[in-house]
Amino acid sequence: MTAVTTVRPETVPQETGPMPSHDPGPDPRRPGWPPRVSPRMLLSLLPSVLANVVAPAVAYGQIRPHVASSATALLATMAIPAVYTLAVFAWRRRVDPLGLLSVAGFGIALGASYLTGGSALAVELQDPVETGAIGLVCLASIVVRRPLWLMVLRLLARHNAQAARMLADPATRRTATVETAIIGAIFLAHAIPVTILALTVSPGTFVALSRPLGLPLIAVGVAGLIWYRRRSHARRRDDQQS
pLDDT in tens, 62-86: 898 899 888 898 899 888 888 888 8
Confidence of residue 98 (pLDDT cuts 50, 70, 90): low
pLDDT at 122 over 80: yes
Amino acid symbol at 37: V
Q: Is the peptide bond before 34 cis (omega within 30 degrees of 0)?
A: yes
DSSP string, 86-125: HHHHHHH----HHHHHHHHHHHHHHHHHHHTTS-HHHHHH
More confident residue, 178 or 232: 178
b/e map of 214-230 (b: 16 or more CB within 10 Å)? beebbeebeeebeeebe
pLDDT tens profile 180-215: 999 999 999 999 999 999 999 998 899 888 888 888
The more confidently predicted of residues 241 and 56 is: 56
> Taking the complete model, does pTM exceed 0.85, yes or no?
no
CA–CA distance, 104 with 123 (Å, rounded to integer)? 13
Using CA atoms, how far apart are residues 74 and 124, in angstroms rounded to an integer? 8
Residue 39 pLDDT level (bands cut at 50, 70, 90): low
User: Is the confidence at residue 173, as pLDDT, over 70?
Assistant: yes
Lowest mean pLDDT segment, chosen from 24-28, 120-124, 161-165: 24-28
- Asked whether 99 and 178 are in contact (CB, 8 A), the reply is no
Of residues 156, 195, 191, 161, the one with CA closest to residue 176: 156
Domain ranges of the chain: 45-241
For residue 115, pLDDT beyond 50: yes
pLDDT score for 50: 81
**Category of 27 on φ-ψ map: left (φ > 0), alpha (ψ -120 to 50) or beta:** beta
Which phi and psi (to 5°) does residue 143 adopt?
-60, -40
Q: For 129-151, how does the pLDDT look when each residue is reduced to its tens digit (9 = 90+)?
A: 888 999 999 999 999 989 898 88
> pLDDT grade, residue 103 (50/70/90)?
confident
Instruction: Please report the pLDDT score of residue 234 as a whole number.
Output: 82
Q: Is residue 58's pLDDT more than 90?
A: no
